[in-house]
Amino acid sequence: MTIDNSKLSKVQRLRQLSDLLDNAIPIPGTSLRFGLDPILGLFPGVGDFLTTAVSAYIVVEAAKMGISRNILLQMVVNIILDMVVGTVPVVGDVADVAWKANTKNIGLLEEHFKVSQSSEKTDWWFLAWILGGLIVFAMIVGAIAVTILRGLLSLIHG
């Protein structure tokens, strides 16, 4: 089975966006790569929120292509794990280099179209519910990260 050209081109554009976030920059002398996600994650709260918003965009586009609820939930779980791990100062940013939630999500999207040509009608209420929950969770995690950073700075500066 083959994917139609419009979906194929959309998946390719989403792959490019994912690569920008997760794999754009090679680490010389290794096979490792990282992207903007761990770099933006160095800015507590704001960076993680921005990368979560871009990750959510990938989920919205997947939903528009008719991806099942199950896969959409898997994608959101990948984003949540990335967000939670990314909030740990320095260690989280290093872990972001390895986790690559966007790459995992594009893999789920590509696998769906390899296995199945079927698509579901987009359930906009379901999508709004999971993305709303993701945004609320991102705000809570961001607030916690900023609070921890403020606490650390107050300990350092007395």
pLDDT per position as a tens digit, 97-145: 888 999 999 999 999 888 555 556 677 888 888 888 888 888 888 888 7
Q: Give 98's contacts (C-beta < 8 A, 6+ positions apart).
A: none
Q: Residue 8's pLDDT is what? A: 86
Residue 1, pLDDT score: 46
- 38-42, 104-108, 146-150 — which one is most confidently predicted on average? 104-108
Residue extents of the structural domains in the chain: 5-26+33-157
Angle between helices 124-157 and 69-86 (to 10 degrees): 10
Which residue type sits at 72? L
Give the pLDDT mean for 11-21. Answer: 94
